[in-house]
Amino acid sequence: MEANALMITEHPAGNGKKVVQATLNAEKSLNALTLEMIRLLAPNLSRWQQDPEVAAVVLDGAGTKAFCAGGDIRNLYLGMTGEGEDGFCETFFTEEYRLDHAIHCFEKPLIVWGSGIVMGGGLGLMAGANYRVVTETSRIAMPEVSIGLYPDVGGTWFLNRMPGHVGLFLGLTASALNAADCRYLGLADRFLKSDKKGEMLERLQAVEWGDSLEALHHGTNTVLRALEQQSLEAQPESQVLAHFDVINSLMDHYELKDKVAAILALETDDRWLQKAQQAARAGSPAAMVLIDAQLKRGRHLSLKQVFQAELDLSVNCSRAGEFAEGVRALLIDKDGKPDWKFKSLDEVDTAWIEGLFTSPWNGEQPLADM
């Protein structure tokens, strides 16, 4: 384990408190989330929660291009193909989801600086924080349909809580979201210009912090609110809001195949919708069926149940072949020609999909104690 995979800086603040800055430190890989990062961040979160001197935590990524562009796909691929550490996929998903759940439950102010690219595992880190900051450079997506997977890291939770049928549409099309989209969909809380991070840290240090949780949140919110007021003119227009009626119309079918057919049949010059069509056309048919089933089955699950169900699903997907083939084609060999197990929605075997939802554990589920 390399300690510099996560850089931790303690900034002295008012009233004897400190603001902790935790930085995912893998700029070359766009701060892809590794098992080392997870194992450094998880115990520190618990420590910061208990430390009376810690007023707030800021989680960001090295550089300006990305907060976190996803999970450690390359090592997951090695694990799926038998070339890597035995049991790596099971270990990675278990510890990742436990960390994501801990972020959702973290009581002190936790600011995630979601500037630049935020995808997959990065969104898992961001979604549960109580202060999710986006900027004019934020580009957020769950592109799993393109690699034969499904939107995990709590996607069952937050996609199901989006307005209308937007959650399913995003899952099927891997559509990118900007800052305004995220605020509209409940994935972000504040918009700050990307050059405001330094000032944000300075203002947090200048707060005369109280001791109660209420006082800590009051101080944090006051800082972010003031900086947001200076930033709003730079916020882009929401593409999701602009296309909301179209999205709901496309999804206004009972059968999944009719929803996908409507997306593909849409005649439009709109670039955002065209990209959605391209992703749906190239995506894994099995993943589309899986995503539809995931959201239906998970609609009424608790947060804990969501992560437990996703762990079962992700481990099974790591063994089923479709995920590995998608990663090979798009990220390893980069030939862009995945050989999907099923070539169309009509060919997808419902029994095969059902098997992915069956618990893979012989004993107790690893997140049963969460």
DSSP assignment of 188-217, as one string?
Answer: -SEE--GGGHHHHHHHHHHS---SSHHHHH
* All residues at 6 or more sequence positions from 194 whose CB lies less than 8 Å from its CB, including other chains: 64, 115, 116, 135, 136, 137
As a whole number of angstroms, the distance between CA 351 and CA 95 comes to 29
Question: Any alpha helices (H) in 32-87, and if so which ranges?
Answer: 35-50, 73-80
pLDDT at 154: 98
pLDDT, tens digit, 9 for 90 and up, residues 321-337: 999 999 999 999 999 99
Strand order in the sheet with 190-191: 6-12, 18-24, 54-61, 110-114, 131-134, 190-191
Judge whether residue 34 has pLDDT over 60. yes
**Dist CA 101 CA 309 (whole Å):** 13
User: 106 near 45, Cβ under 8 Å?
Assistant: yes
Local confidence band at 1 (pLDDT 50, 70, 90 cut-offs): very low
Residue 283 has a pLDDT of 98
CA dist list (Å): 251 to 161, 259, 261, 263, 274: 16, 5, 10, 8, 16
Q: Kindly indicate the confidence band of residue 221, based on its pLDDT and cuts at 50, 70 and 90.
A: very high
CATH superfamily, region 3-356: 2-enoyl-CoA Hydratase; Chain A, domain 1 (3.90.226.10)
Helices 88-105 and 73-80, axial angle in degrees (round to 10): 140
Q: Supply the mean pLDDT for the chain.
A: 97
Q: Which of 60, 90, 96, 152 is catalytic?
A: 152
Number of alpha carbons in the 13 Å side-chain half-sphere of residue 79: 22
Characterize the bridge pairing of strands 117-119 and 66-68: parallel
d(CA 31, CA 69): 6
Query: pLDDT by residue (tens digit) across 149-187?
Result: 999 999 999 999 999 999 999 999 999 999 999 999 999
**pLDDT above 80 (res 11):** yes
* Residue 340: C-alpha distances to residues 173, 352, 358 (Å): 17, 14, 22
CA 9 to chain centre: 24
The verdict on whether 71 is a catalytic residue reads yes
Each residue's pLDDT tens digit, 283-307: 999 999 999 999 999 999 999 999 9
Of the residues 61, 70, 71, 79, only one is catalytic, namely: 71
DSSP per position, 234-280 = GPPPPHHHHTHHHHHHHT--SSHHHHHHHHHH-----HHHHHHHHHH
What gap in Å lies between CA 329 and CA 280, rounded to an integer?
16
Going by pLDDT thresholds of 50, 70 and 90, the confidence category of residue 202 is very high
- Rounded distance, CA 158 to CA 161, Å? 5
Average pLDDT over residues 252-259: 98
Reported as type and span, the H/E element at residue 101 is helix 88-105
Phi, psi for 114 (deg, rounded to 5): -90, 55
Residue 171 is a catalytic residue? no
Which pLDDT belongs to residue 2?
42
* Given the residues 79, 114, 120, 121, the one annotated as active site: 121
